[in-house]
Amino acid sequence: MYKAKHIGLVYSLIVIFLSSCSAASTEQQDEIMILPPEELYGELFYDVQTKEIFPDSKAFVDAIPKKDVKEIREEYRKLDDKSVNSISEFVMANFKIPGGGGDFYQSDSSSINQHIKKLWQVLKRPADEQVSGTLLPLPNPYIVPGGRFREIYYWDSYFTMLGLQEDGETEIIRNMVDNFAYLINTYGFIPNGNRTYYLGRSQPPFFAMMVEILAEEEGDEVYVDYLEEMKKEYNFWMAGVEHLSQENPAHRRVVQVAEGKILNRYWDDNSEPRPESYREDVKTAEEAVAAFPELSKEKVYRHLRAGAESGWDYSSRWLDADASGEFSLYTIHTIDIIPVDLNSLLYNLEGSIAKAYQLTGNTSEAEEFRIKQQRRKKLINKFCWNSEKEFYMDYNFRRNKNTEVVSLAGLYPLFFKISAPGQANEVAEKIQSDFLKSGGVVTTLNHTGEQWDAPNGWAPLQWISIKDLRNYGKEALANRIRNRWLEINKAVYARTYKMLEKYNVEDLTKESGGGEYPTQDGFGWTNGVYQKLSGEK
């Protein structure tokens, strides 16, 4: 089974193992292994990834074995010819390789809203009955983003649910919330996605926001229904506080910014290359160690994995600029940073738990979480508000100062009404002057080649920006962003009949790009935000 150093979730894996095999014989149970791909496939995994059998590292880790994995491993061990062609033939004979890109559905010329309604069924996956390669079972149907993203994704799903709500798809929303509750109860947290290789990390904690969407449809008792799961998720993010001290200010996802005052960071429980981006991570670590010999590759892998937990993989938010102002991925230092978006989401989680307790009549617990929430609000404004730049920014606790990168993550305090009106005015001015482009708002002001930087705009950040500004009465600017985003979606759809993962909002004649893989179509959160915004009266 999983080595303890990887994730420390042996007990949880055993629970999944037993639940997924309850109807199987003892002999059949012995053949089912819940392992990350590097342990599941051993030498074969490393040979496939390092010899570039597939252009996308994710293709093999998502493959489905055609027979018992032990048998495949043994046959590969005995294989004499391990050339690229021979390995490729072996893999094709023993695995079902998933298709990539958008080849799993046929685009048509329907209106954009009708196209999205059709896509809900195309992107829907049935409940999983058993472990399938690296895919972890889920008890209810769910929506995947599309393209190379063939599993459920955590924070994507909230923005997908906005569109499902607009289209009256309450049943699938409930199913997806129940799936996330299942993951929390099984693993103690919501993984990045339902793959074994995601079990070391989560993603931005939007579960409480999903509960809010469902409560809008079914009533506030929904908060009570998911109180225990919200508490478990909160405990996951806050685990390790007892290990903090002045000498050791950070442990896993918690950081002590002053005695007894705690904020959070992104993290991953592993310090090896991500299996789904194996070659890319090895290359980045080699470049980092060459540039900074005092670094270890393990530290670089941890930073990369934590950047993946942020959902912003990757962005200049996590990087250092050199003397010429250029950013390189090998300067990544995610775990040194207290992100403003993460802490705003945890502020909301604390408030949602307080609300749920209040609904149960447990006023003392409700008050405890309201106090936690107000304490976090003060810390966000103390450490993440940059009065010189008049914007919310991430905070580097190792350097005791804000990072240098201004990004749309700085809008999250407005999304949850943490900001004072004066702060909101200053943030809105910067959005108007610096971030607003012809196709919506750009993610950062830096052109680095990373996908979460300029010139790209992303559906979730358009939604956050619009909602933020409306929270503080900035309707004209919010509507300008809304209209420009809808127009770029429509323009690209008119040319391609596709909904894309991200868009170039600076030059509407060019496609988006950057990052580790081509722009994907499908696409869950773009569909969701488009339906919600276009449905406004």
Residue 175 backbone dihedrals phi, psi, to 5 degrees: -60, -40
Measured between alpha carbons, how far is 330 from 22 in angstroms, rounded to an integer? 46
Asked if residues 412 and 340 have their Cβ atoms less than 8 Å apart, the reply is: yes
Asked if residues 66 and 73 have their Cβ atoms less than 8 Å apart, the reply is: no
Tell me which of 156, 313, 350, 394 is the catalytic residue: 313
- Active site (annotated) includes residue 475: no
Give the three-class secondary structure for 321. strand
Measured between alpha carbons, how far is 477 from 500 in angstroms, rounded to an integer? 24
Angle value at C-alpha 34, between 28 and 35, nearest 5 degrees: 135
Written as one letter, the residue type at 402 is: N
Cis peptide, bond prior to residue 455, ω within 30 of zero: yes
For residue 305, what are the contacts with CB-CB under 8 A and spacing of at least 6? 200, 201, 268, 270, 271, 274
Tell me which of 128, 501, 516, 521 is the catalytic residue: 501
What are 292-301's contacts with CB under 8 Å, separation 24+?
A: 292/330, 298/271, 298/272, 299/271, 300/330, 300/332, 301/270, 301/271, 301/272, 301/273, 301/274
Measured between alpha carbons, how far is 460 from 462 in angstroms, rounded to an integer? 5
For residue 170, what are the contacts with CB-CB under 8 A and spacing of at least 6? 164, 214, 217, 218
Cis peptide, bond prior to residue 266, ω within 30 of zero: no
Give the three-class secondary structure for 255. strand
- Active site (annotated) includes residue 313: yes
The string of DSSP letters for 414-452 reads HHTT-S-HHHHHHHHHHIIIIIEETTEE-SBS-B-S-TT
Measured between alpha carbons, how far is 526 from 528 in angstroms, rounded to an integer? 5
| Tokens encoding 255 | 């950081």
Strands 401-402 and 436-437: unpaired
Asked if residues 11 and 45 have their Cβ atoms less than 8 Å apart, the reply is: no
Angle value at C-alpha 205, between 533 and 281, nearest 5 degrees: 100
Measured between alpha carbons, how far is 280 from 52 in angstroms, rounded to an integer? 11
Distance of CA 87 to the CA centre of its chain: 32
| Tokens encoding 418 | 């943490």
Measured between alpha carbons, how far is 371 from 365 in angstroms, rounded to an integer? 10
H or E element at residue 503:
strand 502-504
Asked if residues 370 and 411 have their Cβ atoms less than 8 Å apart, the reply is: no
Measured between alpha carbons, how far is 436 from 459 in angstroms, rounded to an integer? 14
- Give the residue numbers marked as catalytic: 313, 501
